[in-house]
Chain A
Amino acid sequence: MPSKRSTISAKLSDKQPATAAPRTDQAIITTRSLCRYYGDDEHNKVKAVDNISIEIRPAEFTAIVGPSGSGKTTLLHLLGGLDDVTSGSVELAGTNIADMSGAQLADFRRDHIGFIFQAYNLIPVLSAAENIEYIMLLQGINNNTRKQRVEQMLAQVGLQGHGNRRPNKLSGGQQQRVAIARAMASKPDIILADEPTANLDSKTGIALLDLMKTLNETNNITFVFSTHDEKIMNRASRLIHIEDGQVIKDENR
């Protein structure tokens, strides 16, 4: 079964104080001249991410915004160690993701990164509670702690009493809240969310984002999410605008 959280995580946890962290804190994620190109051919090469150097600091609530095809998904996947860089680097607390092997990277994602997807992507045969529990099982957390934390997570996303339902018995908004709970359950350093509200109607979407914002403010959870919805991006405390794979504006609000 999976090992305990690696030392990097321990370091990061030390550096995450209980109160909101000042912006000067050491970055959770640093990218340096990050590039991801598709296609070998010079003529039809797609520069999905082109020379991006950014830092994500603890307790930030960052939105990556840009038109369709601008490279938001690609950038989030690179930040989460799901995709291979073409050049440049992604560092998580000083460790270059490119230096890690497959299993190391898997453990790294398990312990340090939470994912929320546009299409919820819960495991259909597992109940809401089991979906949340699964990742803690991978971490080797004992049964009691798992069960306890599942209840806690369900409560935090406002789904007490819904734990036994399978995803197909939950609304889209509820499923996405389970996805948030699943992402938080492993106590990651950062949660990456690719268009988490795109499949939801605008009211539900805003409610979901407010939930994320609350979790960010009360629990200091660091979020990076992508969107092209004005109302959604307005709730972010930092906006990174990208176009054609390049950062065109990076503003704190």
Chain B
Amino acid sequence: MLLIALAWRNIFRQKRRSLLTALSMAGGYLVSAFAISLSEGSYNGAINFFTEDHSGHIQIHQANYLKRPKIHKTINNPQTISTQLKQNTNIRSHTLRVFAPVLAYSETKNSHAQLVGIDLALEQQTSRLAEKIIAGQFINNQQNTAGYYAVMISSNLARVLNISLGDELILISQGADGSVANDLYIVGGIINNKNARTVYLPLNAAQLFLSLPNKVHQIAILLNHSGEAIEQAQHIQQLLSAESLLGDSFPGESVTVSSLIPKLTQAEKSLRQNLTNLTVSPWQEVEATFYQSMQADKRGMNITLGIILFIVFIGVLNTVLMSVMERTREFGVLKAIGSRPLQITTLITLETTMLASMSIVTGFALSIPLILWFKNTGLKLSQPVDIGGVVLDRMTGDMNLYVFLAPAIAMLTFSILVSIPPAFRAASISPTKALGSH
């Protein structure tokens, strides 16, 4: 306690100088916490937006589908996986999708388009598609009296094809079996999207159209905790591996040849069904370009903040050095009466970290209202930024432990580092020389 009191009082010996130093450190903290909050908030906002809007936190595809999507790269018998996913308590919801490029014809116009087959019930739990309907309604799985399915199209496609609710739409594509696929549909809903040309079909209608019975291209998953995407993806991947499928086939201790045969058949079936050739990708892989730009941007910011703090702490180093020089005689006395060099070092480091801690507390207090405002209100960007395909249109602040702790830890580390040279200087003061100096 006496050592702490000593350090504390030493800080207040040069009030003005300590105050200026503390203010510069508090400023460094404020800038760092604020910058981290903005970056975390804006990126997390964007991530939440696209994961909850359409991509999900995790996607399952056949291996390599993400890089080179092909109609035959399917997930076979997706119900098996779907059942497993429903039992997983970390998963909020999931949905099944098929994709294919199609040609779309209206009475007068035609266009290329992207066909998306969706599981109507699951899709509504897993994406915001239903919220974006601007005309008509979310389709159901019923054929009309003439035997046609209703589909939803993006507003952009409606504009290009010059069609609206109730109009007919013909889609032409190639089925998975190589056959020509073509069929007629009725526009039952229009989705607000001014960029994409998309047609949404009920899953079974799409499977029928593309000759993909009981097959899908994608399972999109929403987690309860968005931060766990990478771990949960690994976990699901493991569950889908051949070992676990086989492992599940041997629940009992006693294994007889006759009991093995059906299990092995089951395992073989799973393998044949290609269940084991699936890749589970967290959003970081699904949106790899965005993720990498984001990481690079955060690294860049951290380096900038590091440089700012470095400059702040050069000032601190100067202050500490000065305070050590002024007290040369005192350190000489402390050493003469029996303080070990290490105890002198500790005193200087303690003084510096205490001053830094006070600055951190001040910076923390100052940063709270600023960060709160940015968290609750935020700034709308006049010019949205496109980062690897993800559009950032708002600067919002995040408020969590990391935002406050990261700069605090950086500053404490810096203050210890910066105190080392003066501390060693003080510790190496020769008592005879110090006592001789008047």
Contacts and interface: CB of A to CB of B under 8 A. Distances in A.
Interface band, chain A = 20 to 34
Interface stretch (B54-62, B108-116, B333-341): B333-341
A106 B431 CA distance: 11
B3 interface: yes
A83 B332 CA distance: 12
Contacts of B435: 77, 82, 117, 121
B92 interface: no
A182 B337 CA distance: 9
Interface stretch (A63-71, A125-133, A215-223): A125-133
B338 A109 contact: yes
B2 interface: yes
Interface string A128-141: 00100111011000
A130 B340 contact: no
A102 B337 contact: no
Given A121-B329, A121-B333, A125-B10, A130 B338 contact: no
A114 B8 CA distance: 26
Given A82-B431, A83-B432, A110 B330 contact: no
B437 to A, nearest CB: 11
B13 A107 contact: no
B3 to A, nearest CB: 7
B146 interface: no
Task: State the majority secondary structure of interface residues on B.
Answer: helix
Nearest to B13: A125
B16 interface: no
A182 B170 CA distance: 100
B160 interface: no
Interface in A144-178: none
Contacts of A113: 338
Contacts of A108: 338
Contacts of A117: 333, 435
A138 B336 contact: no
A130 B2 CA distance: 8
B333 A103 contact: no
A138 B330 contact: no
B338 A111 contact: yes
Given A115-B337, A138-B343, A130 B5 contact: yes
- Count chain A CB atoms within 10 A of each CB in B5, B13, B337 and give the residue with the most: B337
A19 to B, nearest CB: 28
A186 interface: yes
A3 to B, nearest CB: 10
B336 A109 contact: yes
B342 A80 contact: no
Contacts of A111: 338
B438 interface: yes
Interface in B408-438: 431-432, 435-436, 438
A138 B341 contact: no
Contacts of B13: 124-125
B336 A82 contact: yes
B299 interface: no
Contacts of A135: 337-338
A83 B6 CA distance: 27
B72 interface: no
Nearest to B330: A123
A107 B432 contact: no
Interface in B350-399: none
A2 interface: yes
Contacts of A20: none
A123 B340 contact: no
A119 interface: yes
Contacts of B333: 115, 117, 121, 123
Contact of B336 (A2, A80, A119, A125): A80
A133 B330 CA distance: 16
B9 interface: yes
- Count chain A CB atoms within 10 A of each CB in B9, B338, B431 and give the residue with the most: B338
A130 B431 CA distance: 21
Nearest to A122: B333
A121 B337 CA distance: 11
A103 B343 CA distance: 10
B285 to A, nearest CB: 53
A124 B174 CA distance: 91
Nearest to B329: A121
B265 to A, nearest CB: 72
Nearest to B342: A103
Contact of A109 (B3, B6, B329, B337): B337
Contacts of B336: 80, 82, 109, 115
A134 B6 CA distance: 10
A125 to B, nearest CB: 4
Interface of B: 2-3, 5-6, 9-10, 13, 329-330, 333-343, 431-432, 435-436, 438
Interface of A: 2, 73, 77, 80, 82-83, 102-103, 106-111, 113-115, 117, 119, 121, 123-126, 130, 133-135, 137-138, 182-183, 186
29 contacts: A2-B343, A77-B431, A80-B336, A82-B435, A102-B341, A103-B340, A106-B335, A106-B338, A106-B340, A106-B341, A109-B337, A109-B338, A110-B339, A115-B333, A115-B336, A115-B337, A119-B438, A124-B13, A124-B330, A126-B9, A130-B2, A130-B5, A134-B2, A134-B6, A137-B3, A138-B339, A182-B337, A183-B337, A186-B338
Given A126-B6, A138-B340, 11 more contacts: A73-B436, A103-B340, A103-B342, A115-B337, A117-B435, A121-B329, A121-B330, A123-B330, A126-B5, A130-B2, A186-B337
